[in-house]
Structure 1
Amino acid sequence: MTTLEFCHELEFSKINFIERKIKINHPRTIITGPPKSGKSFLIFDYLSNYNQEDYIYIDFSDYRNEKDEIEKNLEEYVFRNKIKVIVLENFEFDFKIPFCESVIISTKLDTTLKGYKKLFLTPLDFEEYLLHDKKNQNITQTFNNYLKNGNLPGVVNIDEIHTFNRLHDLIILINKDKTSQEILKILFLNIDEKKSLNQLYLALKNKIKISKDKFYEECKYFEKNKIVYFIEKYEQKKATKKIYSYNPAFLSAITHKKKFKNELTNIIFCELINKYKDIYYLDYIDFFIPSKKLAIVSIPFFNSFMMQSQLKKIYKIVDEYKIKELFIITVSNDEQFFHQNIEVNVLPFYEWSLS
């Protein structure tokens, strides 16, 4: 059996797909997103609308698929078999795409093609996680698992020990070599921290042999592929940036140190990136959305009586930037009160994310 015959026989109609907020609704689509965010299952859902003989699914990360054979014979094979949909997973745009009624591409490359719609898929937000969770737990327990195990679709319903193994394997998968792994680990260890790349480079240099060029090159790669985010301070481009990961569970997967506030803040960030493009931080404000005059502060265990000093610092920034909405996100606390004419909403994460 040839590679193309094998790829043509693959069938996805029986895949148990759970709806995502993003769908493929254009016949020519390029999908990007960080590793294991669910890109393939989005494609499987799209293919379920077709008969098996009408599509060909080619994954270039599958070692069994002979790339030279595909490049040489794909156009003729598509024409001869009257194929309606070509799927090219993990494609690098290194040969001409044959004409077809529909072409769906997943790739790591930031490529734009005329006539193609681009989709960027992040892992599950909390509402999607609830739909995927089959354990029928109460919402508090589901949130605890979401915070502990992360937002990747593939870890929702597996045991905790296997979750850690999956995350460790994923760190290896993302990286080219051991040095890249160490760079990514030090970035993950500093989520929700204000650290310059130079600070992190010097810290890592004390641990392993590494060049500055290599360190900065890898950081740029992780940022470009939305594995790590560097958030600016509002209107202060030269200020130290804050670091976040596309999956907060990486932190607990690489250290025994408990950084509960950092993980909660990172998971809040993951909810925001699908809603807003203009996300910054301010002194005492974790996230500021200037277009909405919206401020969000992460305080896992909030008590308004005990935190008057911290609230005064927050209010000063609220007044300075004419902020109209202030949310304080917690694990379980729920309060509402006013600062002047601004309502301060203290909400558990799961209430805020679903509101």
Structure 2
Amino acid sequence: MNTLLDEYYRYDLHNAGYIERKVSLDESSVVIVGIAQSGKTSLIKHYLLSQKKSTYLYLDCRDMRINIDELNTTLEPFCRDNKIDILALDNYREGINLFSIEHCILSCEHPIETEFEMLELNLLDFEEFLAFEPKFDSTALNHFFQLGGFPAMHRVASEERTLYLQKILSRSLNDIELSILTQATKMVTQKVSAFNLYERLKSERKISKDKLYLHLQSMLDKRYLYGLEKFNHPSAVQKLYLCDIAIKQALNLQKHFGRVYENLIFLELVKHNIECYYDEGIDFYLPQRRQIMLALPFANEHALFKKVEALEGFIITNRVREVIVITMNTESSLSHPIARINMTPFSMWALGEE
């Protein structure tokens, strides 16, 4: 094992074409949590390349040559003997012992119990996505719909993107998790219970309820899937969202622009850490801001007024100050007796969020 560690220690790391993300590493020990291909490795290498080479050891724990028992006996003395201050364990595997070192960086797909700070690395939001675009013009939003938030998608030829995502998901998820994700692409933005998923999956494969529930929770913990609670009804069935809109078209031939659009808005709220819920007729309710948010890409004023009238009871009861309608291109402010209504294009809204 010392031979393998020495091999990694002598490696010259490469991270060509790195584009800054909204998160960065400092001298604090940290666990970076994010799904496959969210940019964890690039973030680690970007930081390490700013340090003196002799002071750090980068180790990819997916390496099949690693024997955990042997690693646990050799890693600490190797770091001590080589005066290594920074240990980076990329794709950390449970069972690898941690020890006292000046600076430790771990990455994995799901949270682990540790005293280190946890850094959640989401896929690209719209603002980060623009940094990957050669120029910002009217085509940028269309590209965002096509590519989604995986950073590497800009480097993949258009005809290979679907197979690329399929390969990444097949490698990162087990067979049951991939089946759950595939079913989720057919039910995105809908109210979906674990039992609903079980009923659908049992016709395709032999699976118990307990196993389905266990794997579904794993998908939620790793944030391949999200569940959105109903406002003031935590036990109600949750709405289901994907971690990235590109996954829907990679695993499902069905087209439904309205659902994809709503999913995209939800992800922007998640990435900006904005508390939100759904309610009947309401895509997103933001209680701290007393705002209702509607995903209506091609809204017109007449239909919008009728929709707001149907929400009058909720608006009055919860003292909603503003109804924000996220559109594709329309920008307008409407006068309504019970709430302020603003129609805002997605690109303007996404770039304006704090």
1:158-217 residue CA offsets vs partner (Å, 9 max, x unmatched): 32222211211122123222x332122112221111122212221222233222112111
In structure 2, the CA distance between the partners of 1:14 and 1:213, relative to structure 1 (3 Å rule), is closer
Asked if 1:175 is matched to 2:173, the reply is: yes
In structure 2, the CA distance between the partners of 1:245 and 1:335, relative to structure 1 (3 Å rule), is same
> Are the aligned partners of 1:92 and 1:109 in contact in 2 as well (CA < 8 Å)?
no
* Match in the other structure for 1:216: 213
Q: How does 1:138-157 map to 2 (within 5 A)?
A: 138=137, 140-157=138-155
Cα distance, 1:40 vs. partner? Answer: 1.1
* Match in the other structure for 1:3: 4
> Are the aligned partners of 1:233 and 1:240 in contact in 2 as well (CA < 8 Å)?
yes
Cα distance, 1:137 vs. partner? Answer: 5.2
Asked if 1:301 is matched to 2:333, the reply is: no
Asked if 1:285 is matched to 2:282, the reply is: yes
Structure 2 segments unaligned to the other structure (5+ residues): none
Cα distance, 1:354 vs. partner? Answer: 0.4
Asked if 1:252 is matched to 2:253, the reply is: no
* Match in the other structure for 1:163: 161
Between the aligned partners of 1:151 and 1:103, the Cα distance in structure 2 is 28
Cα distance, 1:93 vs. partner? Answer: 4.1
- More displaced stretch, 100-109 vs 223-232: 100-109
Between the aligned partners of 2:349 and 2:243, the Cα distance in structure 1 is 19
> Are the aligned partners of 1:39 and 1:106 in contact in 2 as well (CA < 8 Å)?
yes
Cα distance, 1:261 vs. partner? Answer: 0.9
Between the aligned partners of 1:130 and 1:12, the Cα distance in structure 2 is 26
SS of 1:2's partner is helix
TM-score by length of structure 2 reads: 0.93
Between the aligned partners of 2:249 and 2:11, the Cα distance in structure 1 is 37
Q: How does 1:181-330 map to 2 (within 5 A)?
A: 181-276=178-273, 278-330=275-327
Between the aligned partners of 2:284 and 2:39, the Cα distance in structure 1 is 27
In structure 2, the CA distance between the partners of 1:321 and 1:113, relative to structure 1 (3 Å rule), is same
In structure 2, the CA distance between the partners of 1:87 and 1:329, relative to structure 1 (3 Å rule), is same
Between the aligned partners of 2:154 and 2:317, the Cα distance in structure 1 is 42
Cα distance, 1:28 vs. partner? Answer: 0.8
- More displaced stretch, 198-207 vs 257-266: 198-207
> Are the aligned partners of 1:329 and 1:347 in contact in 2 as well (CA < 8 Å)?
yes
The share of aligned pairs that are identical, in percent, is 26
SS of 1:122's partner is coil
SS of 2:302's partner is coil
* Match in the other structure for 1:86: 87
> Are the aligned partners of 1:295 and 1:323 in contact in 2 as well (CA < 8 Å)?
yes
Between the aligned partners of 1:103 and 1:197, the Cα distance in structure 2 is 37
Between the aligned partners of 1:147 and 1:267, the Cα distance in structure 2 is 8
Structure 1 segments unaligned to the other structure (5+ residues): none
Cα distance, 1:313 vs. partner? Answer: 1.8
1:295-350 residue CA offsets vs partner (Å, 9 max, x unmatched): 21101111113444223224443233211122111122221113226321211211
Between the aligned partners of 2:273 and 2:102, the Cα distance in structure 1 is 34
Cα distance, 1:99 vs. partner? Answer: 2.8
SS of 2:278's partner is strand
Between the aligned partners of 2:120 and 2:93, the Cα distance in structure 1 is 17
* Match in the other structure for 1:129: 129
Asked if 1:338 is matched to 2:339, the reply is: no
Cα distance, 1:239 vs. partner? Answer: 2.0
> Are the aligned partners of 1:228 and 1:245 in contact in 2 as well (CA < 8 Å)?
yes
1:133-163 residue CA offsets vs partner (Å, 9 max, x unmatched): 23x252x311112112211111134322222
Between the aligned partners of 1:15 and 1:84, the Cα distance in structure 2 is 24
Between the aligned partners of 1:58 and 1:199, the Cα distance in structure 2 is 41
Between the aligned partners of 2:147 and 2:316, the Cα distance in structure 1 is 37
In structure 2, the CA distance between the partners of 1:10 and 1:295, relative to structure 1 (3 Å rule), is farther
> Are the aligned partners of 2:15 and 2:46 in contact in 1 as well (CA < 8 Å)?
no
> Are the aligned partners of 1:112 and 1:118 in contact in 2 as well (CA < 8 Å)?
no
Between the aligned partners of 2:332 and 2:340, the Cα distance in structure 1 is 10
Between the aligned partners of 2:226 and 2:163, the Cα distance in structure 1 is 24
Aligned-CA RMSD value: 1.9
In structure 2, the CA distance between the partners of 1:195 and 1:96, relative to structure 1 (3 Å rule), is closer
In structure 2, the CA distance between the partners of 1:295 and 1:156, relative to structure 1 (3 Å rule), is farther
Counterpart residue identity of residue 344, structure 1:
I
> Are the aligned partners of 1:279 and 1:288 in contact in 2 as well (CA < 8 Å)?
yes
In structure 2, the CA distance between the partners of 1:93 and 1:171, relative to structure 1 (3 Å rule), is closer
* Match in the other structure for 1:23: 24
> Are the aligned partners of 1:56 and 1:83 in contact in 2 as well (CA < 8 Å)?
yes
Counterpart residue identity of residue 96, structure 1:
N
1:113-146 residue CA offsets vs partner (Å, 9 max, x unmatched): 23x2111111111000001223x252x3111121
Cα distance, 1:47 vs. partner? Answer: 0.6
